[in-house]
């Protein structure tokens, strides 16, 4: 019989894209994840992974088993929720959020939510949008704050509903002394000779920099990958390269960088996602209202740049 815990490990590898990333997410060692996968392959009786010299990827049977695992995990989550209800435990709202949206929006929304629904416990877990959506599908989350970039849209899923919360421009972050920093709005083609910094492949927006630069007419030179905007700004300030960043990722500016809008530039959209037909469930309407109010009350980070194009 297939072990549910090992099915969860396989699904995490599918979500994260590597054994190392899955191990980090599960608080396992990579060796422990590999052992669990090997035992699952023995239980399944077919190869689930295609192993290369430096990486692994799921075999067709592995992807098929992940589909079944999601159905199983969804049913288990439903059973756990029913047992909590029968036990008289307080209702819980489980929210997934990426780092920048979580830091900028969630704290204010939590205060408004608790005023409206003091009876509901809120749990927040940080996760990349694609991981949050997958966990939403199997009922490990009730609501997710996710984003998509121009050139990197979220996958369409009829099982989920998305409500647009915020659309924000993607700025270019430059060394303060960069010649282009004197421009009110930057043309990407003027940065064709620069080195670029982008997000890692752990982030769903990893392809964005390459695709945006190609759309502007050039192939970018990418030598650095960071998901942390503070580390990215430090690199830019040192003169190592230039980068894209959304407004919410630039609330604390390094004094050695300049932030400029992109002429006819790309945008990032932030959504609240929940399972189709469940927008009225335990605390979701109140959390959506709190998120809207928090975003409406935000002051623009770069009012002097508003309208530049």
The CATH number given to whatever domain includes residue 215 is 3.40.190.10
Average pLDDT on 229-253 reads 94
Of residues 282 and 308, the one with the higher pLDDT is 282
Query: Do both 252 and 283 map to the same domain?
Result: no
Of 54, 81, 108, which one is at a domain's C-terminal end? 81
**Domain match, 183 and 257 both:** yes
Residue of higher predicted confidence among 301 and 264: 264
- Domain with 50 in it: 4-81
Helix and strand numbers (H, E) in the chain are 9, 11
User: Does pLDDT of 210 surpass 90?
Assistant: yes
Q: Are residues 107 and 172 in the same domain?
A: no
pLDDT at 103: 81
Shared domain for 184 and 153, answered yes or no, is no
157/169 Cα distance (integer angstroms):
25
pLDDT higher than threshold 70 for residue 306: no
Contact between 132 and 206 under an 8 Å Cβ cutoff? The reply is no
Counting residues of the chain whose pLDDT is more than 70, the rounded percentage is 97
Looking at the structure, tell me whether residues 250 and 283 fall in a common domain.
Answer: no
State mean pLDDT over 21-43.
90
47 and 91 co-located in one domain: no
Together in a domain, 114 and 249: no
278 or 285: which carries more pLDDT confidence? 285
Whole-angstrom Cα distance, residue 276 to residue 254?
A: 41
Question: What pLDDT score does 305 carry?
Answer: 58
Average pLDDT, the chain: 90
Across 77-81, average pLDDT:
79
Q: Is residue 155 located within the same domain as residue 41?
A: no
Is 136 within 8 Å of 278 (Cβ atoms)? Answer: no
Task: Give the total number of structural domains in the chain.
Answer: 3
Mean pLDDT value of segment 189-213: 94
Q: Using the predicted structure, report yes or no on whether residue 253 has a pLDDT greater than 70.
A: yes
What was the pLDDT predicted at 303? Answer: 59
Instruction: With cut-offs at 50, 70 and 90, classify the pLDDT of residue 309.
Output: very low
- List the structure tokens of 266: 């790309």
């Amino acid at each position: 019989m297939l072990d549910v815990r090992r099915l969860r490990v396989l699904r995490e590898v599918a979500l994260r894209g590597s054994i190392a990333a899955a191990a980090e997410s599960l608080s396992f060692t990579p060796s422990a994840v590999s052992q669990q996968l090997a035992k699952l392959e023995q239980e399944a009786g077919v190869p689930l992974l295609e192993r290369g010299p430096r990486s692994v990827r799921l075999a067709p049977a592995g992807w098929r088993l992940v589909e079944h695992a999601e159905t199983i995990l969804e049913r288990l989550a439903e059973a756990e929720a029913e047992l909590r209800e029968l036990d008289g435990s307080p209702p819980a709202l489980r929210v997934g959020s990426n780092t920048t949206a979580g830091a900028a929006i969630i704290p204010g929304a939590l205060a408004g939510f608790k005023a409206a629904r003091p009876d509901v416990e809120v749990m927040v877990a940080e996760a990349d949008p694609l991981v949050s959506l997958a966990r939403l599908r199997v009922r490990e989350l009730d609501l997710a704050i996710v984003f998509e970039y121009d050139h990197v849209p979220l996958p369409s899923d009829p099982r989920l509903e998305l409500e647009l919360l915020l659309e924000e421009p993607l700025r270019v972050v430059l060394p303060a002394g960069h010649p282009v920093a004197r421009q009110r709005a930057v043309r990407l083609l003027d940065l064709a000779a620069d080195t670029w910094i982008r997000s890692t492949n752990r982030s769903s927006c990893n392809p964005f920099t390459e695709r945006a630069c190609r759309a502007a007419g050039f192939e970018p030179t990418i030598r650095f990958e960071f998901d942390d905007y503070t580390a990215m700004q430090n690199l830019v300030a040192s003169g190592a390269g230039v980068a894209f960043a959304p407004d919410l990722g630039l609330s604390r500016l390094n004094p050695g960088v300049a932030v400029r809008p992109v002429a006819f530039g790309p945008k990032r959209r932030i959504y609240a996602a929940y399972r189709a037909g469940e927008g009225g469930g335990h605390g979701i309407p109140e959390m959506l209202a709190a998120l809207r109010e928090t975003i409406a009350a935000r002051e623009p980070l770069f009012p002097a740049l508003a309208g530049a194009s």
